[in-house]
Amino acid sequence: MKIRSAIVLGIVLLFGRVAFAQDYPKIETAPGFMYIRTVPQSNAFTVPGAVILTHSVNCAGGGGTLAYNVSSLVGIAADLGGCKVFSNAYGAGNTIDGNIFTYLFGPRFTYRNSSKVEPFFELNFGGTRISLSCKSSASNCLSAAGTNTYSKNAFAMTVGGGLQIKMSKKFSLRLVQAEYLYTRFGNSCAQSACSNNNNQNSFRLKSGVVINW
């Protein structure tokens, strides 16, 4: 009798653990806010043939991610986002406007247990597109085509993580997602101080809601 009870108890515990392990969303969609801050490595950074960026670039907007969870721990995510460049004065009477769009893909690792708090880590690869315009007639504000607008695509990579809180079976709140954003736009600046500015190091911050399916 004791052996039979032990077997029954073992089966119940086994299926209970399996049920708990499978209690995770197969698909997650996460619309939200996005902020990017880029700080050039010197005071003479130029995207090829375009305007000179003399200080940090701030960009705010939104986007979203679509993730498919292979298991409770491992998922594959697609990350799309766009933002508008703001507060970028270039000398007296000159301003830089534009937008940045990122398209990234990669693995995501989420730690899930009985707690409502779910930390995650991810690594993404893909590309980014920057479009800039300079409101000035100065020669250093013109592109190679003679206009004051310029667009370029480049390689991009992000690495970082965040924290989300499970509000219900359907919804979660992504409090923060902080990442290092690496881009490689190159640099057409002829000055020696620009020689190490082929790569750009940026900080990306995201937050929003998560819809579980």
Query: Which residues are CB-neighbours of 194 under 8 A, at least 6 positions away?
Result: 42, 44, 45, 46, 187
Rounded average pLDDT over 11-22? 47
Domains of the chain and CATH, by start: 25-212 (2.40.160.20)
Report pTM: 0.78
Query: Which residues are CB-neighbours of 144 under 8 A, at least 6 positions away?
Result: 49
pLDDT tens across 169-209, in order? 899 999 999 999 999 877 665 555 555 567 788 999 999 99
Measuring CA to CA, which residue among 141, 148, 206 is closest to residue 179? Answer: 206
Rounded average pLDDT over 117-124? 96
pLDDT exceeds cutoff 60 at 12: no
Q: To which residue do tokens 């990122």 refer? A: 102
